[in-house]
Amino acid sequence: MTSRERSTGADPGARPDQGRDQDDLVVLVDDLGRPCGTAPRGHVHGSATPRHLAFSCHVLDGAGRVLVTRRALGKRSWPGVWTNAFCGHPRPGEAVVQAVRRRAADELGLTLPTPPRVVLPAFSYSAVDDAGTEENELCPVLVAVVGTDAPAPDPDPTEVAAWRWVAVEDLVVAADVAPWAFSPWLVAQLGELEALGGLEAAAVEAVPSPAVAWAADA
């Protein structure tokens, strides 16, 4: 990836993720993706993480570039790795698309001009980082498009250490050559999206209405 990196100036010694938003409730799901309870966010990312509902969003600029962000060093899981634009968790009763818009504003200071599109409605993954923190998520993947003249991201430094706009093809190559430098969910998503013709194609082609439990309230 060759585009210039923008740092947020976050304190590398801080551990903000240990307390920030940890009381937000997330939606627990069963093996079929059906809601089966709630739990505080701070309680569902540990060594035995229950399966829960999340989302990942990629942001394109309409000129063949995708926004990537480097996770803040204070993040509980996968600190310091590069990943997609942003992720998050829908709150109980909150539609996924609504949660994506909320998180875009909170984490990156972005206003999405058009509704994000669901491109991988049934994506899920489980992974454990070097510190033993497990992610175990039903994680629908969405794509949002902003104009090339959109304001620059203004990230929350407790979430994002740096960001770049990069060519989509450069990101795909980098994730293939050095997957350890990226979040495991990003690497897996790029693989599934390539099977659909790539990230840019998925952003504009019709995706069948997702027959998944999380979409019932979306």
Residue in 36, 57, 137, 159 annotated catalytic: 137
- Which residues, in sequence order, are bridge partners of residue 184? none
Is residue 45 a known part of a binding site? yes
Catalytic residue among 5, 36, 57, 87: 87
Q: Is position 134 annotated in a ligand binding site?
A: no
139 is catalytic: no
Q: How far is CA 134 from CA 51, 130, 138, in A?
A: 10, 10, 13
To the question of whether residue 135 is assigned a binding role by annotation, the answer is: yes
89 is in an annotated binding site: yes
Confirm or deny that 194 is annotated as ligand binding.
no
Which of 105, 132, 113, 120 shows the shortest CA–CA distance to 54? 120
- Would you call 36 a catalytic residue per the annotation? no
In Å, how far are 42, 68, 122 from 156, measured between CA atoms?
Answer: 19, 14, 29
Residues assigned a catalytic role? 87, 137
The binding site for Mg(2+) consists of: 107
Annotated binding site: 45, 52, 89, 107, 135, 137
